[in-house]
Amino acid sequence: MKGWMWMNCVLGLAVCAMALAPNDWVTKSKKEHPRLLVAKADFERVKKLVQANSLAREFYQRLKSQAERICQEPPSRYEIPDGLRLLATSRRVLLRVYTLALLYRLDGEKRYLERAWNELEAAANFPDWNPRHFLDTAEMAHAFAIGYDWLYHEWSDEQRKILREAMAQKALLPALKIYREKGWWSQARHNWNQVCNGGIGMAALALLDELPELSSEILSHAVQSIQIPMKEFAPDGAWGEGPGYWNYATSYNCVFLAALETSIGSDLGLSKMSGFSETGLFPIYITGPTGRTFNFADGGDGTLRAPQMFWLAKKFNKPVYAWYARTNASPHPLDLIWFDERGKDPQAEGLPLDKYFRYVEVVTMRTAWNDRDAIFVAFKAGDNKFNHSHLDIGTFVLDALGYRWAIDLGADNYNLPGFFGRERWTYYRLRAEGHNTLVINPSKEPDQDPRAEAKIIRFISRPDRAFAIADLTPAYARHAEKVLRGVMLDRKNRFVFVQDEITLKQQGEVWWFMHTPATVQISDDGKTAILVQGNAQLRAVLISPENAQFTVMDARPLPTSPDPQGQNPNKGIRKLAVNLKGITSVRLGVLMQPVAEGAMKKLPSLIPLDKWGK
pLDDT tens digits, residue range 556-605?
999 999 999 999 999 999 999 999 999 999 999 999 999 976 666 677 77
Question: What mean pLDDT value characterizes the chain?
Answer: 95
Asked if residue 13 has pLDDT above 90, the reply is no
**DSSP β-bridge partners for residue 376:** 366, 399
Q: Region 173-191: what's the mean pLDDT?
A: 98
Q: Which amino acid type is present at position 82?
A: D
Contacts of 369 (CB under 8 A, 6+ apart): 345, 346, 347, 351, 353
Cβ(392)–Cβ(382) below 8 Å: yes
Asked if residue 171 has pLDDT above 60, the reply is yes
pLDDT score at 462: 97
pLDDT score at 22: 74
- pLDDT tier at 267, thresholds 50, 70, 90: very high
pLDDT digits 0-9 by tens, 400-459:
999 999 999 999 999 999 999 999 999 999 999 999 999 999 999 999 999 999 999 999
pLDDT score at 1: 31
pLDDT above 90 covers a percentage of the chain that reads 94
Peptide bond into 235 cis (omega under 30): yes
pLDDT digits 0-9 by tens, 112-123:
999 999 999 999
H/E stretch holding 591 reads strand 574-594
φ, ψ of residue 532 in degrees (nearest 5): -130, 130
Contacts of 126 (CB under 8 A, 6+ apart): 78, 170
pLDDT above 70 covers a percentage of the chain that reads 96
Q: What is the pTM of this model?
A: 0.95
- pLDDT tier at 8, thresholds 50, 70, 90: very low
Asked if residue 236 has pLDDT above 50, the reply is yes
Asked if residue 197 has pLDDT above 90, the reply is yes
Distance of CA 344 to the CA centre of its chain: 23
Domains and CATH numbers, the chain: 23-337 (1.50.10.100), 360-611 (2.70.98.70)
Least confident of 236-240, 259-263, 596-600: 596-600
Cβ(140)–Cβ(94) below 8 Å: yes
Distances (CA, A) of 29 to 207, 338, 597, 612: 10, 22, 62, 58
- pLDDT tier at 231, thresholds 50, 70, 90: very high
pLDDT score at 11: 36
